[in-house]
Amino acid sequence: MHTKRIDKDLAALPLPPNMRDREAAWRGFSWDEARRGLSGLPGGGLNIAYEAVDRHALGERAGHTALRLLSADGRRRNIHYDELRRLSNRFANVLTSLGIGRGDRVFVLCGRRLELYLAVLGSFKAGAVVSPLFSAFGPEPIATRVQLGQGALLVTTASLYRRKVAAMRAQMPSLRHVLLVGDDDASANLSTPNEPGTLDLGQLMDKASDDFAIAPTRPDDPALLHFTSGTTGTPKGALHVHGAALTHYVTGQYALDLHPQDIYWCTADPGWVTGTSYGIIAPLLHGVTSIIDEAEFDAEHWYRILQEERVSVWYTAPTAIRMLMKAGPELAHQFHFPALRFIASVGEPLNPEAVWWGADVLGLPIHDNWWQTETGGIMIANTVAMPIKPGSMGKPLPGVEACIVRHQADRPIEVLSDAEAVGELALKAGWPSMFRRYLGQDERYRKCFSGELYLTGDLARRDADGYYWFVGRADDVIKSSGHLIGPFEVESALMEHPAVAEAAVIGKPDEMVGEVVKAFVSLKRGIEASEALRAELLGHARKRLGAAVAPKEIAFLPTLPRTRSGKIMRRLLKARELGLPEGDLSTLEEGA
Ligand code: ATP
Ligand code: MG
């Protein structure tokens, strides 16, 4: 079924320029060769911040803009590489002066503002392990994460401190210092939280020196702590190392096609791994200019950024694309994007409709890619070295070996080599950005590995051309009358209907067939839910998927519950449907 549609589609999508040359470059890939793209610390060792900032700042790109910060009130501030070097040195000096150093954990809780970037880079320089959190987290999720990570220092704004941290301070005994960033909230001026260990970051930065001797970290030294999205359960804390920079560098090149003159925009919040790996590290490693927008999503505002900042490479997520689609093509057509060269998406499966929408409305198809907090960087992608197959995650990147396995309790893992076989997606362990621990969950970490394979927990299939297709999370797959039904296929079929903005399906226990498919659908702007529409959607799905796979029930919702990283929380829809406990909702976005 897929193959037929895709053949038709493929012929209509333009092939990437120089595709053959780029394919050839892939074939010659080796990690050893790739390592030459990084310079290493003078005197030995590897530190992400040196690779990302200092080596550019000490060379020809010193005056090139590294970060362009767009603040909510419309101000625009350019920070060039040498300024970033000096400011991150200052932050590292502040940490050192407070006794924070190698292996200490630094948490950052502030919006997308300069201090966040300085805290991340300065922590790398000091050898500390940094963990950015979503600033929209409530007090409880913040305290739990700081406690689990044994945070020694927290960087936050005065108003976030007052609203979310102050009352929880007793629950975070590991926290020795809080550094406050001034913000525009007059009621929260810096002198308010006059508590021991709570200091004004601005004052400390003013006094600190521009020079800092970067800690001689090694590739295996911890650098980053990231919490998973909590889509399938309680978020896990995944620990990453400085050596991950090599994956970020390589994937910045192969998966995002970054070039030195690019204006690059990653829309992910650094509280999610994408916002750090590809919102901070990868673009800086390539010496490009990153757009950093402080404001929340708004379709018109986003189109304006793409147009006015002349964004050339854009990395975003299906949820944002669906929201743009929901806003309608007329809005997009008021803007022009001549500078835009490459668009990529991650986080959830990208429905074929979204790939087509990109081609039709933005003038470029969207390249889906797949990875996880645990993998630390992009593993499978549609890239400039291959034709896009809409609905597919693409092919494993150079240096990544993927396979499909059958993984059943108490049985040895079996690698399924036949094309189209559905099984768990596994990766050969050992790529540079692989996570090294789940904090506090050693047994769970061990269970992710079998022999030399890392088991991802996602189900997929590989086609005869070597493209991988996402089927669903192992937890979300529906079993009905002996069929295994992947939610993605059903959701994509529903999304083809012009009335549907978003869809999520779950399995509902049924005595006769095991589980039946129930769909939750949110409609495009201006479309009313009705019995007639419900019947039409059920009919459309049956026609597309066949009666065995199509949903038996459809419920209309104004929006679907999603995580702060934009992933639909099917487990919550299921728990609500079955009247079961809702579980860990620390990452649930408000209003869902
Ligand atoms: P948790 O592990 O806490 O349940 P999570 O798995 O959503 O949350 P992340 O690490 O942020 O946390 O997300 C990785 C997962 O997102 C992948 O395992 C996969 O299920 C999904 N995902 C990411 N990119 C894609 C993609 N391009 N296509 C399909 N699924 C994707
Ligand atoms: Mg996960």
Which of 187, 210, 242 delimits the end of a domain? Answer: 242
Q: Are 398 and 338 in contact (CB under 8 A)?
A: no
pLDDT value at residue 54: 98
Give the model's pLDDT for residue 25: 83
Looking at the 3D structure of the chain, how many domains does it have?
A: 2
Contact 109, 120 (CB under 8 A): no
> Which amino acid residue places its CA nearest to atom 3 of ligand 1?
230
| pLDDT greater than 70 at residue 193 | no
Q: From the CA of 26, how far away is ligand 1's center (Å)?
A: 26
What percent of the chain shows pLDDT beyond 90? 87
Out of 128-142, 376-390, 475-489, least confident range: 475-489
**Ligand with the closest atom to the CA of 468:** 1
Ligand 1 lining (C-beta closer than 6 Å): 228-233, 235-236, 346-349, 368-370, 372-373, 393, 456, 458, 470, 473, 565, 567
Q: For residue range 207-256, what is the model confidence (pLDDT) as tens digits?
A: 999 999 999 999 999 999 999 999 999 999 999 999 999 999 999 999 99
Nearest protein CA to atom 13 of ligand 1, as residue? 372
The rounded distance, in Å, linking the Cα atoms of 86 and 122 is 10
pLDDT score of 498 more than 80: yes
**Best residue among 234, 256, 371, 468 to mutate for probing ligand 1, ranked by most atoms within 8 Å of CB:** 371
Alpha helices in 98-153 (DSSP H): 114-126, 139-148
The model's confidence at residue 8, banded by pLDDT at 50, 70 and 90, is very low
Among the atoms of ligand 1, which is closest to the Cα of residue 231? 4
Is 534 domain-assigned? Answer: yes
The two tokens of residue 303 are 């189109």
Average pLDDT score, the chain: 93
Asked, for residue 424, whether it belongs to a domain, the answer is: no
Within a domain: 264: no
Pocket test for ligand 1, best of 239, 315, 433, 458 (most atoms within 8 A of CB): 458
**Would strands 263-266 and 342-345 be described as parallel, antiparallel, or unpaired?**
unpaired
Residue 529 has pLDDT above 60, yes or no: yes
Domain boundary among 187, 217, 242: 242
Tens-place pLDDT, residues 416-456: 999 999 999 999 999 999 999 999 999 999 999 999 999 99
> What whole-number distance in Å separates Cα of residue 177 and Cα of residue 5?
57
Domain presence at residue 557: yes
Asked whether residue 86 is assigned to any structural domain, the reply reads: yes
Q: Is the confidence at residue 191, as pLDDT, over 70?
A: no
Q: How many CA atoms lie within 13 A of 398 on its CB side?
A: 26
Atom number in ligand 1 closest to CA 368: 27
DSSP code at position 165: I
User: Which residue minimizes the CA distance to atom 28 of ligand 1?
Assistant: 349
Judged against a pLDDT cut of 90, whether residue 14 lies above it is answered with no
The helix-helix angle for 114-126 and 81-97 (nearest 10°) equals: 60
CA distances from 413 to 367, 401, 409, 423, 458 (A): 31, 16, 9, 11, 15
Whole-structure pTM over 0.80, yes or no? yes
Checking if the pLDDT of 4 tops 70, the result is no
Q: Which atom of ligand 1 is nearest to the CA of 236?
A: 3
Structure tokens at 256: 């995002």
Residue position matching structure tokens 């997520």? 317
54: CA distance to ligand 2 center in Å? 33
The pair phi, psi for residue 47, each rounded to 5°, is: -135, 125
Q: How confident is the model at residue 465 (pLDDT cuts 50, 70, 90)?
A: very high
Residues 6 or more apart in contact with residue 82 via CB below 8 angstroms:
57, 62, 63
CA 273 vs. chain centroid, Å, equals 5
220 lies in a domain? yes
State in Å: Cα 55 to ligand 1 middle.
33
Of 56 and 296, the structure prediction assigns the larger pLDDT to: 56
pLDDT of residue 185 exceeding 60, the answer is: no
The two structure tokens encoding residue 574? 């299921």
Residue 25 domain-assigned (yes or no): no
pLDDT in tens, 331-347: 999 999 999 999 999 99
471-510 burial, b at 16+ Cβ within 10 Å, e below that, comes to bbbbebbbebeeeebbbbbbbbbbbbbebbbbbbbbbbee
Q: Whose CA is nearest to atom 11 of ligand 1?
A: 229
This model of the complex carries an ipTM of 0.99
- pLDDT number for residue 9: 59
Domain harbouring 538, CATH code: 3.30.300.30
Closest CA to 202 of 309, 292, 296, 94: 94
- Domain CATH code at residue 217: 3.40.50.12780
Best mutation site among 322, 373, 565 for ligand 1, i.e. most ligand atoms within 8 A of its Cβ? 373
Non-local (6+) Cβ contacts of 121 within 8 A are 49, 52, 53, 84, 88, 91, 280
pLDDT at 189: 53
Q: Which of 348, 393, 433 to mutate to test the pocket of ligand 1 (most atoms within 8 A of CB)?
A: 348
376 confidence band (pLDDT: 50, 70, 90): very high
The mean pLDDT value for 12-24 works out to 83
Tokens of 247: 């994956």
**Cα–Cα distance, 240 to 156 (Å, whole number):** 22
Nearest listed ligand to the Cα of residue 379: 1
State the distance from the centre of ligand 2 to the C-alpha of 229, rounded, in angstroms. Answer: 7
User: What does the pLDDT average to over 497-525?
Assistant: 94
Distance 8 CA to ligand 1 centre (A): 29
Give residue 415's pLDDT band: very low, low, confident or very high (50, 70, 90).
very high
Region 189-216 average pLDDT: 85
Are 438 and 444 contacting, i.e. CB atoms less than 8 angstroms apart?
yes
Asked whether residue 57 carries a pLDDT value surpassing 50, the answer given is yes
Considering only CA atoms, which of 151, 188, 178 is closest in space to residue 94? Answer: 178
CA distance 381 to 251: 9
Question: pLDDT-based confidence at 194, cuts 50/70/90?
Answer: low
How far apart are the CA of 462 and the centre of ligand 1, in A?
Answer: 18
What pLDDT is recorded for position 23?
87
Atom 1 of ligand 1, residue of closest alpha carbon: 230
Q: Which of the listed residues 144, 145, 226, 231 should we mutate to test ligand 1's pocket, taking the one with most ligand atoms within 8 A of CB?
A: 231
34 Cα–ligand 2 center, Å: 28
What are the CA-CA distances from residue 252 to residues 18, 315, 467 (Å)?
18, 11, 20
Q: Which of 228, 232, 375, 388 to mutate to test the pocket of ligand 1 (most atoms within 8 A of CB)?
A: 228
Q: Which amino acid is at 158?
A: A
Q: Residue 183 — pLDDT band, cuts 50, 70, 90?
A: confident
- Residues 212, 189 contacting (CB under 8 angstroms): no
42: three-class secondary structure by DSSP: coil
Q: What is the C-alpha separation between 155 and 177, in angstroms, rounded?
A: 9
Residue 122 has which token pair? 């300065």
Ligand 1 nearest atom to the CA of residue 373, by list position:
10
Residue 126 included in any domain? yes
pLDDT at 279: 98
Least confident span in 59-63, 481-485, 552-556: 481-485
Angle between the N-to-C axes of helices 299-308 and 318-327, in degrees from 0 to 180, rounded to the nearest 10: 100
Task: Show which of 183, 216, 242 is a domain's final residue.
Answer: 242
2 pLDDT tier (thresholds 50, 70, 90): very low
Distance CA 572, CA 307 (A): 37
By the 8 A CB rule, do 316 and 348 touch? no
Could you tell me the distance, in angstroms and rounded to a whole number, from the CA of residue 529 to the centre of ligand 1?
30
How many angstroms does the Cα of residue 457 sit away from the middle of ligand 2?
7
Name the closest ligand to CA 583. Answer: 1
How many angstroms does the Cα of residue 374 sit away from the middle of ligand 2?
Answer: 8
Taking the centre of ligand 1 as the mean of its atom positions, its distance from the CA of residue 176, in whole angstroms, is 34
- The number of the ligand nearest the C-alpha atom of 425 reads 1
Say how many Å lie between the CA of residue 235 and the centre of ligand 1.
Answer: 12
Q: Which domain holds residue 217?
A: 81-242
Decide: 256 and 163 in contact? Cβ < 8 Å: no
Cα separation of 550 and 212, whole Å? 61
Q: How far apart are CA 537 and CA 523, in angstroms?
A: 11
pLDDT in tens, 141-167: 999 999 999 999 999 999 999 999 999
The pLDDT of residue 281 is above 90:
yes
Residue 560's identity, in one-letter code, is L
Q: Which of 2, 31, 12, 11 is nearest to 359 (CA)?
A: 12
191-200, 322-331, 469-478, 546-555: segment of lowest average pLDDT: 191-200
Query: Is the Cβ–Cβ distance between 436 and 374 less than 8 Å?
Result: no
Between 6 and 585, whose confidence is greater? 585
